[in-house]
Amino acid sequence: MTTTATDALTQALVRMAEAGDRPRCGEPGAHELWLSEDTEDRAQAARWCAGCSVLAECAAAAGELKASFGVWAGRDYGERASRRTVAEQ
Q: Can you give the pLDDT of all 89 residues of the chain as single tens digits?
A: 678 999 999 999 999 999 999 999 999 989 899 999 999 999 999 999 999 999 999 999 999 999 999 999 999 998 644 445 555 55
Distances 61 to 41, 73, 81 between C-alpha atoms, Å:
22, 9, 22
- Torsion-angle region of 23 (φ positive above 0: left; ψ -120 to 50: alpha; else: beta): beta
Does the pTM surpass 0.85? The reply is: no
Say what the pLDDT of residue 8 is. Answer: 97
**In the chain, what are the domain boundaries?**
5-88
Residue 64 burial (C-beta neighbours within 10 Å; 0-12, 13-18, 19+): middle
